[in-house]
Amino acid sequence: MDRFFTTCSARISTLAGQPLAFVVALSLILTWGVTGPLFHYSDSWQLVVNTATTIITFLMVFLIQNSQNRDAAAMQAKLDEMLRAIDKAREQFIGIEHLTDQQIEEIRAALEREVGREKGKPGTADDSVARLLKRREARGGVTKK
């Protein structure tokens, strides 16, 4: 069952993300809108689109979540492998995604403090972004407004 769901969700997610899927959905909505006068904008006419969009949205939530879960797990496995393979990396970081939000925030804050103490390294991304922009500006790549 798991393999079947994974295969189906991957295929449907791929198809739903194509431009043709948007064109088909837009065409269906336009067709529904144009048929309004034909059906005198009846309750049944409105119920058709409301029911269809609700069902599709409900099912797509599960497919999108499944895709995101798979992507996140694969990315985490790749990062864990990099931590394992690089000599200077701290392997203690493998699996921290299972910690609480507060524990992860404490680790992140400690890392920022740690890197801020190292000579020549800024403590936050803001500092890094500011340095990058200054470098680009010095090369004539970015102008301030």
CB 21 within 8 A of CB 15: yes
Residue ranges of alpha helices (H) inside 86-96 are none
* Amino acid occupying residue 23: V
pTM, entire model: 0.61
Task: Provide the residue ranges of all domains of the chain, joining segments of one domain with +.
Answer: 2-98, 100-145
CB 66 within 8 A of CB 6: yes
pLDDT tens digits, residue range 50-105?
A: 999 999 999 999 988 988 999 999 999 999 999 999 998 899 999 999 999 999 99
Query: Is residue 130 predicted with pLDDT exceeding 80?
Result: no
Distances (CA, A) of 90 to 18, 40, 63, 102, 117: 40, 68, 35, 20, 18
Residue 10 buriedness (CB in 10 A; 0-12 / 13-18 / 19+)? middle
Chain position carrying tokens 């837009």: 26
